[in-house]
Amino acid sequence: MLLEVMTEVMICPQTSSIRLFISSGRGIICDYLMTDFSISTYPDVKEIYHRLDALMQLPIHGIKQDAMTKYMEHFDTHCAKSKEMVTKACEFIPGGVQHNLAFNHPFPIVIEKADGAYLWDIDGNRYIDFLQAGGPTMLGSNYKPVRDEIIKLINEQAPVTGLFSEYELLLAKEINKHIPSVEMFRMLGSGTEAVMAAARVARLASKRKKVIKLGGGYHGWSDQMVYGLHIPGTGGFEAHGIPKSYRKHTQEIYPNKIGALKKNLFRNKLKGGTAAVIVEPMGPESGTRPVDREYNKEIRELCDQHDVFLIFDEVVTFGRIGLSGAQGYFGIKPDLTVFGKVVAGGYPGAGGLGGRRDIMEHLAAGIESGKKRAYVGGTLAASPISSAAGYYTIREMEKTNACQKAGRAGDRLTTGLKELIQERHQPYVAYNQGAICHLETVGAMFVKLNYLKIRSVLREIKERKFAMEEMGAAYMAEGIITLGGSRMYTSMADTDEVVDDALTRFARVFDNTERH
Ligand SMILES: Cc1ncc(COP(=O)(O)O)c(C=O)c1O
């Protein structure tokens, strides 16, 4: 029997994605979205918030007391060398570790080796690595083809000279190839520095002062940006040691409510105007608080109406959502883009700012008299190692289609987690934006602020944070490293086998939970 088949190929010029649609009289045979992005389907944001609201109505559903005791015994017996080293380190290093992400409950573990999807600690334990150094290693940890190039560079050239290296140009061109909005690129030492540079140059070019961010978002730890972290509306809660005047021109708005931004822009007009709106395009805290599909577009339109610069902080999303960033995915052209993490492929010196030529020219190196300059610097910024690592990483990612592979791993992990949650009738919420996966078991960042009951709000935050740390410890004892017990970054190294093994381990943790 002959079947009449209809084939349609749709190309979205904004996101350069291709949709292959095949149908017959009997229905759809194939509906396949071919993209270079890690996201296969944009998450159902309304459904996620619905489930998160439900999670927050319930008491904490955490690790059972007896199971927690066993997990703690595990750390004492199986991670003794780590414990000893970190105890010693506490004498010389505040908190015993140099990096916030390393500060895990019950104590930080000491890592000896990272390779692909795995980490090994000094006690010889192997872990599935969903931290991936906080996001930069999309090819998997310590990817050989990039490592070989860096070793060659150190052997034949030098790790740093303070003068120009060809890799600076190669990297800037490579970024421009993938992100046309980045007409010019200046590499810096970190994402924090790049955000500082973005705010400074936006203020200089616009001759205005206010910078608006989304509440709950993280844009590094500069004085002006430690504001409204984790939970929208918290303003200067975590800004100890920062004079209020330093963040006088930083404002936060509630995410996903375009009316709030509109009002703020109008209000600012009476106070000297807004220099820029800065957003994490997937939503605050790397999409922990996801934004509606159209939200970035609406922000872009408002910025255009008010003649305000739009800054996309793509520290996490560049290379993790796609090589054209979240802006490629959403089809939006920001005025400035902040880079970090993948821009140096997991090597030191991961930061950069790019964007419109007329704005970026204010960042020109060297001193040109009579011209106003937004001063930036850094002895080791754009070292040959950082630039070459960024360049080779991007090339390898393109060659291997790393974003798509890491995204499929993120989908498999999230789908599997959802199934585990459903089977056990647990209140947990799993969702992902491609290679960024979230597993909210206690919702520490979703506590609702109520200034009239601030003591009980702070107590709830503390309790939920501790329960989340215990979940993180349980995952770790079962051989999985997460980011703070609620986020997982997948990489190209996460094969189906790795993900399925992780799911078996997550299941063991879920079986050890109860309502507190
Ligand atoms: C969205 C975002 N912006 C900025 C930063 C700061 O980057 P860095 O840690 O390189 O200073 C981070 C760090 O995680 C981030 O997630």
Please check whether residue 178 is in contact with residue 324, taking contact to mean a CB–CB distance below 8 angstroms: yes
Task: Using the mean position of ligand 1's atoms as its centre, give its distance from the Cα of residue 366 in Å.
Answer: 27
Mutate to test the pocket of ligand 1, among 131, 219, 336, 338 (most ligand atoms within 8 A of CB): 219
38-49: per-residue pLDDT in tens? 999 999 999 999
pLDDT in tens, 291-302: 999 999 999 999
CA 461 – CA 448 distance, rounded (Å): 9
CA 28–ligand 1 middle distance (angstroms): 43
User: What per-residue string of b and e applies to 38-71 under the rule 16 or more CB within 10 Å gives b?
Assistant: bbeeebebeebbebbeebbeeebbbbeeebbeeb
Burial of 241 (0-12, 13-18, 19+ CB in 10 A): exposed
Q: Which of these ranges, 66-80, 92-106, 190-204, 345-359, has the smallest mean pLDDT?
A: 92-106
CA dist 214 and 299 (Å) reads 11
C-alpha span between 187 and 353 (Å, rounded): 6
Given the CA of residue 190, which atom of ligand 1 is nearest to it? 10
Looking at residue 271, what is its pLDDT? 87
- CB of 340 shorter than 6 A to ligand 1: yes
Crossing angle for the helix pair 65-78 and 80-92, nearest 10 degrees?
80
Does pLDDT of 462 surpass 60?
A: yes
- Assess whether the C-beta atom of 136 lies below 6 angstroms from ligand 1: no
| pLDDT, tens digit, 9 for 90 and up, residues 184-215 | 999 999 999 999 999 999 999 999 999 999 99
Residue range 467-474: average pLDDT?
97
Give yes or no for residue 195 CB within 6 A of ligand 1: yes
Q: At residue 446, does pLDDT exceed 70? A: yes
Question: Would you say residue 226 has pLDDT above 70?
Answer: yes
Dihedral angle at the C-alpha atoms of 328, 332, 337, 340, nearest 10 degrees?
A: -30
Whether 149 is in the pocket of ligand 1, judged by its Cβ within 6 Å, is no
**DSSP element (H, E) containing 329:** helix 325-330
Q: Which tokens sit at 465?
A: 């944070």
123 CB-side CA count, 13 A: 20
* CA–CA dist 476, 499 (Å, integer): 15
pLDDT interval class at 275 (50, 70, 90): very high
Amino acid at 312: F
pLDDT tens-digit series, residues 111-146: 999 999 999 999 999 999 999 999 999 999 999 999
Q: In the predicted model, is pLDDT for residue 19 greater than 60?
A: no
Contact 274, 268 (CB under 8 A): yes
Query: What is the Cα–Cα distance from 34 to 212, expressed in whole angstroms?
Result: 35
Token reading at 107: 């104590």
CA of 232 to the centre of ligand 1 (A): 18
Ligand 1 pocket member 71 (CB < 6 A): no
User: pLDDT class for 75, splitting at 50, 70, 90?
Assistant: very high
- Does 31 score more than 70 pLDDT? no
Query: Coil, helix or strand for 448?
Result: coil
Q: Is 343 exposed, middle or buried (0-12, 13-18, 19+ CB in 10 A)?
A: buried
Q: What is the pLDDT of residue 369?
A: 66
Q: Contact 291/283 with Cβ under 8 angstroms?
A: yes
> Is the Cβ atom of 222 under 6 angstroms away from ligand 1?
no
Decide if 354 contacts 168 (C-beta within 8 A): no
CA 340 to ligand 1: nearest atom: 10
Q: How far is the CA of 453 from the centre of ligand 1 (A)?
A: 32
* Per-residue pLDDT band at 103 (split at 50, 70, 90): confident
Nearest CA to ligand 1 atom 5: 220
Mean pLDDT (the chain) is 94
Report CA 145 to chain centroid distance, whole Å: 24
3-class secondary structure, 283: coil
Ligand 1 centroid, distance to 340 Cα (angstroms): 7
Residue 452 buriedness (CB in 10 A; 0-12 / 13-18 / 19+): exposed
> What ligand 1 atom has the least distance to the C-alpha of 193?
11
Give pLDDT, residue 14.
Answer: 45
How does pLDDT run across 404-445, given as a tens digit for each residue? 999 999 999 999 999 999 999 999 999 999 999 999 999 999
How many angstroms separate the first and last alpha carbons of the chain? 61
What SS3 class is residue 310?
A: strand
**Considering only CA atoms, which residue is closest to atom 9 of ligand 1?**
191
Tally of residues, the chain: 516
Once rounded to an integer, what is the mean pLDDT over residues 164-177? 97
Contact 428, 440 (CB under 8 A): yes
- Within 227-373, strands assigned E span 250-253, 274-279, 309-313, 336-340, 351-355
**Can you tell me which atom of ligand 1 is nearest the CA of 191?**
7
Q: Which of 99, 192, 280, 347 to mutate to test the pocket of ligand 1 (most atoms within 8 A of CB)?
A: 192
Residue 141's beta-bridge partner residues? 116
Q: What angle do CA 48, 51, 52 make, to 5 degrees?
A: 85
**What is the rounded CA–CA span in Å between residue 48 and residue 290?**
8
Which pLDDT does position 15 carry in this prediction?
45
